[in-house]
A and B are shown apart, each in its own frame.
Chain A
């Protein structure tokens, strides 16, 4: 048992017994095709079951044709879904893991885009994201909704699920009914809390009838919507009590926020302190006696154990932790913490890709979402090669890991004294340290695969050819570039990396303009560092929004809040046209007006250039050479990792 007293102890959830307390809680994957579950789903869930998850809850299954908020939704209301369900449940059951289905109607938090039917909601209150006025449902339609839940629950039972979870939290018509912000009805479904909860209780009854006593039934509730007039914790506790009082529900799952208004608290990024949402299960667990699930940025087994020990919850949902490492539970149980590929809470490839309508992946685990295609254990190459990798950024390290795991003999040369390339600096700012875990994870795997790592060892073409490697992989990353208007010798025009490495030091009190053409963490991070130092900082972007891509990773809202608190000025639609030593000439391109902006320092967050000299030199000498990551084209970590991963298999 060791240091885990609770995490690995079994628990009964109604008729189902789980072997440990870690749940792979519900989340969209965009793996569905034509409204049906796919092989991709089955393999994805199976990997987590094999990895030791105590319980898996699938992504939501839609209960009604009026509910189609995004393209790749599973249409649970068609009988056609059952074979796909079977495929998933069989795969998961092979590992002795129970699996529940989440069922849902998203209500007003949708658009009619896909369904071409009016969106249904308790009242005609438009959703803040979709901004579509929904149809206030009639009592007859409410009955239809309830029947839809029961129908889908029946499909789930037939499909071999061990239980059903009603998503009534951050994106759901039930949430819509429960919330004072969206339920303005004056009939028996609106007004008092008991009325607002009526539909939920009706659904519980109908679903229990459909699934019988042999399956577990859970309800996921939102503890604080964080919107004006929305559900707060006191109401959530009352609802939880009503749910328990039905005597038909086996557990309560929790969540926070509203998916279409405050998603950044649901799938919180690394800026949000771990354990931030525990007050919700805490309050609910004090009021009910059925098991309660706590969710939100559990990325470490010990942290989960502590939450259980302090009684904040009986089970923990760990979603991204297991997206990043399907074997999260197994490794923790075996005490092999070091081997865990810790989730970074970067939200780039999981949440980020959902927003972009793409299938779910992970920035540091190229196999996520491709479990059905890529074997868990790589095949060894019949002809081991001597591989030389230049550069130990994420690309170089992943290439080395991949090559070594395919049986090649690999040496990595890195110019710096530490691995990590640009990421090391990207992670060195307040609240971004977790990004650096990707390096730790990779470095650990390098060691495990016996890769030789030579730090503080910059190499040139001569050195490389002298080693006589069979293959060279160049991963030399990117180098800062300067726009035409910035003279090369201007010492107060510097790159973000110069600020982070400390080679440039705008002092407290200095006026700093950060020119942002990247729209990601580069500019915002440096802005915060400098504002903290006491500089007065302005971010200037040619885009319509500063740091647009932070929206995708759900970092935008909290950045804006912090920026406001730190008096960072955000200026959009502005292009720098020149610099005279003290002023920048700025074109406001929307109004086509120019103005001068006085500044002491200019920090550039502009497109870097690929550091590809070594690659072309080696190519010219006829060496077998490949390149990966930013030295192909400067992008982000996911690209570095994916390319690194591919090359190893292709040697």
Chain B
């Protein structure tokens, strides 16, 4: 089994490491700035042009021979997998919960049914990100094999020129002319709109901030720091933040690297949703509240004034 990982500007898609682990450590990493990915295993790095499912499929089809291929069910993986399957004439099994050489568990009915499928011969599968995890045993298995080849694949801009393709698709009427849309921009994540679950930095506020205006200010500061905005239940109940920004047992469970808590008391129902941040900064007038007790840096100060100062200093 081998994993195929599409990389954009060196950024791995969700579920990349899981896919490689599921494939037993072998992977083709294809995309742009592939040399900078942080992924261990026996990797073949293929530097290619900007992502285009048809072009990438054509490029890859020739390298994949008689062994199952597994891609993360991330946007690019989902796009590429059917194209690959069609070119190779192999069955597609997607989205999968677990992938074995002869048996795949496919998820159906919006995650309520699991179909166990037996398959003879090679296939293409996509693996749902986040369901597998990667353990110590996986990296041991991988490190025992050497990391291999880096290659650069000269590739025309996703284009209209026909490309010679090795494959066995008899039915695709025009499989030999892979066309892809034209990529005009890659937009970075917007911390203010991205899901809190994915955020690596979070600025959050509590009851002590007291108004929508303050949360808007906190949001701006967050944007300047590349951090997403969150808050306590008090804040979401009051309507200062939307519900999907509430962190805690009855809100979302987050897992940021850095957490900044402004005027949050740190009730268990809030902190239980915090994950395990490497760093916590708390600003609170009450030196002895649990949030301050949890923080690496606990600053006793008026949170509103600190926000004003932060905004000034960040715009200076």
Q: Do chains A and B touch in the complex (CB under 8 A)?
A: yes
Q: How far is the CA of A444 from the CA of B287 in the complex (A)?
A: 25
A427 to B268, CA, bound (A): 11
What is the minimal beta-carbon distance from A313 to any residue of chain B, in angstroms? Answer: 14
Identify which of A428, A431, A440 contacts B288 (C-beta below 8 A).
Answer: A428
Contact B293 A300, beta carbon cutoff 8 Å: no
Q: Give the residue name and chain of the B residue nearest to A528 (CB).
A: B293
> Cβ of B267 and Cβ of A440 under 8 Å apart?
yes
Interface check A436, CB cutoff 8 A:
yes
* A429 interfacial by beta-carbon distance below 8 Å: yes
Say yes or no: B290 contacts A502, CB within 8 Å: no
Q: Within 8 Å of chain A (Cβ to Cβ): is B253? A: yes
Instruction: Mark each residue of chain B from 83 to 114: 1 if its CB lies under 8 Å from any CB of chain A, else 0.
Output: 00000000000000000000000000001000
Q: A300-B249, A433-B271, A502-B288 are in contact. List 14 more A-B contacts (CB 8 A).
A: A5-B111, A303-B249, A303-B272, A311-B131, A428-B288, A428-B289, A430-B293, A432-B290, A433-B266, A433-B268, A433-B290, A436-B290, A440-B267, A501-B288
- Interface status of B294 (Cβ within 8 A of chain A): yes
A436–B268 alpha-carbon span in the complex (Å): 9
Main secondary structure of the interface of B (DSSP, over half): loop
Q: Is the CB of B293 within 8 A of A502?
A: no
- Report chain B residues within 8 Å CB of A306: 253
A-binding residues in B (CB < 8 A) = 111, 131, 249-250, 253, 266-269, 271-272, 287-290, 293-294
Give Cα distance in the complex from A588 to B41, angstroms. 63
Is the C-beta of A274 less than 8 angstroms from some C-beta in chain B? yes
**Known contacts A425-B288, A502-B288, A433 near B293 by CB under 8 Å:** yes
Which residue of A has the minimal Cβ distance to B266? A433
- Whether A500 is near chain B, meaning CB under 8 Å from some CB there, is yes
CB <8 Å contact, B249 and A429: no
State in angstroms the CA–CA spacing of A431 and B290 once bound together.
8
Q: A430–B271 Cα gap in the complex (Å)?
A: 12
A337 & B293 in contact (Cβ 8 Å cutoff) = no
A508 part of interface (Cβ distance < 8 Å): no
Q: Can you list 19 A-B contacts (CB < 8 A)?
A: A300-B249, A300-B269, A302-B250, A337-B249, A428-B289, A428-B290, A429-B288, A430-B293, A432-B290, A433-B266, A433-B267, A433-B290, A433-B293, A434-B268, A436-B267, A437-B268, A440-B267, A501-B288, A502-B287
In angstroms, Cα B289 to Cα A501, docked, is 10
Q: What are the residues of chain A within 8 A of B272 when measuring CB–CB?
A: 274, 300, 303
Contact in complex: A430, B294 (CB < 8 Å): yes
Interface residues of A in 430-482 (CB under 8 A from B): 430-434, 436-437, 440
Give the complex CA separation of A430 and B287 in angstroms: 12
Instruction: Please give the residue numbers on chain A whose beta carbons come within 8 Å of chain B beta carbons, in ascending order.
Output: 5, 274, 300, 302-303, 306, 311, 337, 342, 425, 427-434, 436-437, 440, 500-502, 529
B249 touches A427 (CB 8 A): no
Q: Output the least CB separation between B291 and chain A (Å).
A: 9
Distance (whole angstroms) from the CB of A299 to the closest CB of chain B: 9
B290 touches A337 (CB 8 A): no
* B300 nearest in chain A by CB position: A502
A5 to B110 alpha-carbon distance, docked (Å): 12
> Which residues from A are CB-within-8-Å of B111?
5
Q: How far is the CB of B161 from chain A (nearest CB, A)?
A: 46
For A532, the closest partner residue in chain B by CB is B293
Chain A residues with Cβ below 8 Å from B287 are 502
- B129 to chain A: closest CB distance in Å? 13
Tell me, in angstroms, the Cα distance from A431 to B293 when the chains sit together.
8
Which chain B residues border A501 with CB–CB below 8 Å?
Answer: 288
Closest to B270 in A: A433
Task: Tell me the bound Cα distance from A245 to B294 in angstroms.
Answer: 46
| A274-B293 Cα distance, complex, nearest whole Å | 17
Closest chain-A Cβ to B277's Cβ sits at a distance in Å of 13
Asked whether, in the complex, the Cβ of A428 is within 8 Å of the Cβ of B249, the reply is: no
Which residues does chain B contribute within 8 Å of A437, judged by CB atoms?
Answer: 268
Which of the listed residues A274, A300, A342 has the most CB atoms from chain B within 10 Å of its own CB?
A300
Residues on A with C-beta less than 8 A from B271 are: 433
CA distance A432 to B294 in the complex (A): 10
Q: Which residue of A lies closest to B287 (CB)?
A: A502
Given contacts A433-B266, A433-B268, contact A427 B290 (CB under 8 A): yes
A427 neighbours in B (Cβ, 8 Å): 290
